[in-house]
Structure formats: C-alpha cells, structure tokens
Structure 1
Amino acid sequence: MKRSHFTREIIELIAITLLLFIVIRFIIHGYHMQSTSMQPEISSDAYIMVNRTSYMFGGPQRGDAVVVHYPPNPNIDVMARIVGLPGDVIKTDSTHLTINGVVLQEPYVQKAFNPEAREWKVPANSYFVLNDNRPMTDDSRSWGTVSSDMVVGKAVIVFWPVNAWKIINNYPSVFSQVKDNH
C-alpha cells in the first residue's frame, strides 16, 4: 500500500515538472531588453516576460508592446509598440502620428520625432510597429510593416531589475478614438 502511494507521488511530480516545462518553454518567454527603443516606458537592460500564446485566439491590438523578429535580420528579436492594424492608414509629419485620420496624443513618447512626412497602408496580416523612443527610427518607419508570423508575443511584465517591476501599459485610452479601417 505504501509503495503505490510513493509511485503516485513520483508520477504527480513528473506531471507537474512536465507542465512547468511546457509553460516556461512554449507559453512564457523571458526577453532581455538590450536597447533603448522602448524608453522611457521600459529601460534598457530590463528583463521582460513575453506571452507567446496571447494571440492564439485574437490578434494584436493597437498599443500592445510586442517582441518581433527584426525584419532586416529575423535571427534577432526587438521590442516595439503596435500602432497600426491591417487596413489602417498611418501618416506621420515631423512630430505627429495619425491613424485613420485621428491624431494620437501619446504619453509614452518622450520626444516626438519622425524623420519625414509619409503615409503607409497596413496590408492584411501585418502590423505597423513603432518604438516609444521615437528618435530611434529603426522600426516600421524604416523597414515597413511586420507580418503576423514575425510577432513573437505580447510583452506583459517587466520582472528585472526588481525595483523596475511593473505590468506593461498598453495605453488603450490613446487608441480608443481610432476606428478600424477595413
């Protein structure tokens, strides 16, 4: 009788270990932020928890901070904020971002900056992503939209350093006036 209890405990321990492995390996991924692209919201050298399954049942939303495969080199991952969904018309001038005719007021952008006035239409199954640190123009303004298969997952929590711990804000109020354009 004691032997079957011990066997059951071993099987439960193995099952829990496998479940934790699956969650850590395939659902949640730690990402080391090694650039200033999302400052001031997220500092360089921060560690971010990324939910890889967040878009299995619904697509990304405007304002989501995401990790994407870097289009010029897909072996590198970068972080940016989704501002444009499929069908959206994005316009920039030197200091403003307009989506489907709505000029955004972006509290997460410390210094508004766009190198040129331009317009983009976001194709199907693609997203327009921008850095929060706008003078750093290595984002959709320079390499175009990101296809949905390039999105790694949604950044949800800054977990290191401990004093910087926070849930990442998606700023839904910033995008609430923007209507879908598809």
Structure 2
Amino acid sequence: MNFDFALVLVLATFITGVAWLADTLLFAGSRKATLSAAEQVAGGRLPEEAADTVTRMSWWADFSKSMFPVLAVVLVVRSFLVEPFQIPSGSMLPTLQIGDFILVSKYHYGLRLPVLGTKIVPVNDPDRGDVVVFKYPKDPSVNYIKRVVGLPGDIIRYQDKIVYVNGQPQMQELLAKLPPRAPETLLYNETLGEVTHEIYNKVQAPNRVGEWSVPAGHYFVMGDNRDNSNDSRYWGFVPDEMLVGKAFAVWMHWPTFFSLPDVTAMRAIR
C-alpha cells in the first residue's frame, strides 16, 4: 500500500489546529483564573517559575501550538506552490536521471484542493512539450512523470519511432550513436511544438505503431526514453483532474542512499 503523505499532512494540520483552538477556547481561561486565584491567596504576583507552573498547558496543547504553524506552512507550500519529487526510473532519460530530485510547480496548471485534487482556480493549460507529474490513471496513489505530446483534440500517430501530431512529423535530429562502434542507443533532439529536448531510441527495440485521438480534457504523454517508458501508448490518456503540476527544475542528484548528494546537478528542465 502506498503512503499518502498529502492525506497524512492534511489530517495532522487539522488535528493540531483543532487541538490548539480547543485549548484556547476551553482551557486557557481556566488557567488564567487559577493564576489569579493563586495570586490573591499569595497577596501578590507569584514568582515567574510558580506562575509558569500554574498556567502550563497540557502536553497535547503545547505540542499542537508548536506544530500547527509549521504543518500549516508546509501544507500551503506543498499543496499550492512547489512540491519535491524523486525520479525512481529511467523512463525520462536522458532528460531526467534516476535519482534526480525535482521541483514541481503546483500552481502552474491551476490551484487544486489537497487530497481531493479539485481545481479551484484555473491558471494555465499544459503545452505540448511540458514535463508533467500526474497521478497514474490505473492507480491514482502512484505519481508518474512524462512529457506532454498530445493536447485535447489532437490526433497522435507513432510510427517508425517518430511522433506525428495531426499528420505532421515532429522533427528529430540525430546527435549521437551510443556507443559509437556498436550502437545500442540513438540520441536525438526532438522538437515538440516550441520545445526542443533530447530523447533515446533503442536500436534493437521493436517499432510500435499506433494512432490515438485525444479526447477533450485529456492529454497524451510519453517518456523521453521512448523504448523504455510505460506511457499513453500502453494505458491511454491522462485526465486533466489527475495533473499534479509542471516539473521545472532539478535541485539535487542522489542515486543511492550510500552515495553523496550532488547539488551541482541543479538545472532547469526543458
């Protein structure tokens, strides 16, 4: 079972907020009254240490007061501004490496309610060539990252390892054969709309041919590692409501737990 951090964060923020509010409304007044009564008996102000003891919050109220502001800030930033993700697979090579830590703009495609994903403020629609994070339609508890190839209303064809959009082939320029003497992988520059990016094609991989008509409110996505990507060619389209955000930067590369994080890998994603 996948860990739903967003749900846990919302619940933790709600519980600590309610606990802090309950203490403020129900118990803070009685603590002040107890302090006032103690000072009357003592005939004056109590020493600071004694006053702190009398007015001390219960452990759960003190914990909630300390944690609620922190959780609330994290919730707002993560839900509406920027969320970090780690790249676990090679489906977006060479653009994204396994172990890259990326930043995703949560507001670029509109503000959505945390957990529910309901769009409350529309902003932009995805453009062809955008690298997007989305909830996998077959299992919404899993996040995927791919590149937008087809927009609503497009007809996408994939043949001879070339993308056709509404009948127009998307330009590819061969950059390198890897390795040079006995090539197994071909590195290309591909242009999708106004975005030029690199892709991999495997020399020995079979040629998958297909044509898809993108329905309204959906997107056709593909990995840049074209012969090693589980994408719309195999399971269909991404509904708009499953979009998480636009990936815009790599901020660290950390391939394994026992390796050293590499912050020099910082770069924009295109």
**TM-score under structure 1 length normalisation:** 0.78
Residues 16-25 or 158-167, more deviating: 16-25
Q: Which moved more, 1:123-132 or 1:110-119?
A: 110-119
1:76 aligned to 142, 147, 152, which one?
142
Q: Is the 8 A contact 2:159 2:210 kept in 1?
A: yes
Shift of 1:58: 1.5
Counterpart contact for 1:94–1:114, Cα < 8 Å: no
Among residues 206, 210, 217, which one is paired with 1:125 in the alignment?
Answer: 217
What's the CA shift for 1:102? 1.4
Mean CA deviation greater in 104-113 or 71-80: 104-113
For 2:14, the equivalent position in structure 1 comes to none
Moved more, 25-34 or 127-136: 25-34
Matches of 1:166 and 1:159, distance apart in 2: 7
**Please, which of 68, 71, 83 is the counterpart of residue 29 of structure 1?**
83
Q: Does 1:116 align with 2:170?
A: no
| 2:251–2:265 Cα contact (<8 Å) kept | yes
Q: For the residues of structure 2 that align with 1:114 and 1:63, how far apart are their CA atoms?
A: 24
- Structure 1 match to 2:4: none
CA distance 1:114–1:65, shift in 2 (3 Å):
farther
Of 139, 163, 166, 1:100 maps to: 166
Q: Distance in 1 between matches of 2:79 and 2:209?
A: 42
More moved, 127-136 vs 20-29:
20-29
Which region of structure 1 is more displaced relative to structure 2, 82-91 or 105-114?
105-114
| Structure 2 residue 120 is matched with structure 1 residue 60 | no
Relative to the length of structure 2, the TM-score reads 0.54
Could you tell me which residue of structure 2 aligns to residue 157 of structure 1? 249
Give yes or no for the alignment of 1:136 onto 2:234. Answer: no
SS across alignment from 2:234? helix
In 2, distance between residues paired with 1:95 and 1:104?
11
For residues 137 and 39 of structure 1, do their structure 2 counterparts lie closer, same or farther at Cα, with a shift above 3 Å needed?
Answer: closer
Hey, what's the Cα distance between the residues in 2 that align with 1:25 and 1:118?
36
Q: Give the length in aligned residue pairs.
A: 156
Q: Does the CA contact (< 8 Å) of 1:37 and 1:131 recur in 2?
A: yes
State the alpha-carbon separation in 2 of the partners of residues 114 and 163 from structure 1. Answer: 37
Q: Kindly indicate whether the alpha-carbon contact (under 8 Å) linking 1:127 and 1:148 is maintained by their aligned counterparts in 2.
A: yes
Query: Partners in 2 of 1:66 and 1:114 — Cα distance?
Result: 26
Q: CA deviation at 1:27?
A: 1.4
Q: Show the counterpart of 2:103.
A: 49
Q: Share of identical aligned residues, percent? A: 35
What is the letter of the counterpart of residue 90 of structure 2? T
Structure 1 runs (4+) deviating above 3 angstroms are 14-21, 112-115
Q: Secondary structure at the match of 2:201?
A: coil
Task: Find the counterpart in structure 2 of residue 166 from structure 1.
Answer: 267
Distance apart, 1:142 and its partner CA: 0.2
Instruction: Indicate conservation of the 8 Å contact 1:92/1:114, yes or no.
Output: no
Gaps of 5+ in 1: 1-13, 170-182
Change (3 A) 1:91 1:114: farther
Cα distance between partner residues in 2 of 1:71 and 1:80: 13
Q: Secondary structure at the match of 2:220?
A: strand
Q: Which of 1 and 2 has higher RCO (CA within 8 Å, sep 6+)?
A: 1
Larger Rg: 2
Question: Per residue, is there more helix in 1 or in 2?
Answer: 2
Using the TM superposition, give the Cα deviation of residue 163 of structure 1 relative to its aligned residue in structure 2, in angstroms: 2.1
